Amino acid sequence: RGVRTRNSKFKGQEEEWKTRNKTILTYIAAAGVGMIGLSYAAVPLYRLYCQASGLGGTAVAGHNADQVETMKPVPERVIKVTFNADRHASMQWNFRPQQTEVFVVPGETALAFYKAKNPTDKPITGISTYNVVPFEAGQYFNKIQCFCFEEQRLNPHEEVDMPVFFYIDPEFDEDPRMARVDTITLSYTFFEAKEGQKLPLPGYS
């Protein structure tokens, strides 16, 4: 009887451990899936936060029309703006800047172009993000017009020019941190977008 009781008790504990282990594994799996989901969601959310605040080298999205009309150029401060183009590994477009660099002064607007081509036999929709290096210059780099954060659909073998109209805020010249900055790099990265997806562009009306 003692042996049967011990065996019965042992089996009961074993079943309890199995149930407990399954529950723990379920929680771990759920937590893993949740963390993966959060990591994917965090990327666009972080980019949008940086876009609005200028943090992390992201250019400020909004611009003041009155400031563009009334700002005074700083002709003695010439800044070289270089351009970079990247693609996510899954993106099949060809994407490149049409110019390697332009020279601007704070307080004057400038226009640059990127070129994108879909070399495939199917339509592809892309969406881009961008940032500015050095990071501290992001708050002074203002876009008036750009193709970022909006879906761009290219038909098979279609090629388009994408303009970027921008200016560097005159306050750039008054910031001691910018005293030795004479080169700014504007970098775009294109991702393949899901049909119907649209990231909001904060700061624009």
In DSSP terms, 183 is beta-bridged to 80
Question: What does the pLDDT look like over 121-178, one tens digit per residue?
Answer: 999 999 998 889 999 999 999 988 888 778 899 999 999 999 999 999 999 999 999 9
Range 7-27 average pLDDT: 64
pLDDT at 136: 92
pLDDT at 3: 47
Judged against a pLDDT cut of 50, whether residue 28 lies above it is answered with: yes
pLDDT tier for residue 17 given thresholds of 50, 70 and 90: low
CA distances from 137 to 13, 142, 158, 176 (A): 64, 10, 34, 12
Q: Is the peptide bond before 134 cis (omega within 30 degrees of 0)?
A: yes
pLDDT at 68: 75
pLDDT tier for residue 30 given thresholds of 50, 70 and 90: low
- Mean residue pLDDT across the chain: 77
pLDDT at 198: 52
- Residues of the chain with pLDDT > 70, as a percent, come to 62
Classify residue 8 by its DSSP letter: H
Q: Tell me if 58 sits within 8 A of 138, measured CB to CB.
A: yes
Domains and CATH numbers, the chain: 1-59 (no CATH), 79-192 (2.60.370.10)
Nearest to 77 by CA among 180, 165, 185, 166: 180
> How many Cβ atoms from other residues are within 10 Å of residue 129's Cβ?
20
Q: Tell me if 26 sits within 8 A of 16, measured CB to CB.
A: no
Judged against a pLDDT cut of 90, whether residue 78 lies above it is answered with: yes
Q: Is the dihedral of CA 104, 107, 109, 114 positive or negative?
A: positive
pLDDT at 149: 77
pLDDT at 200: 44
d(CA 63, CA 202): 11
Question: What does the pLDDT look like over 84-127, one tens digit per residue?
Answer: 999 999 899 999 999 999 999 999 999 999 999 999 999 999 99
pLDDT at 51: 47
pTM higher than the cut 0.85: no
In DSSP terms, 127 is beta-bridged to 191
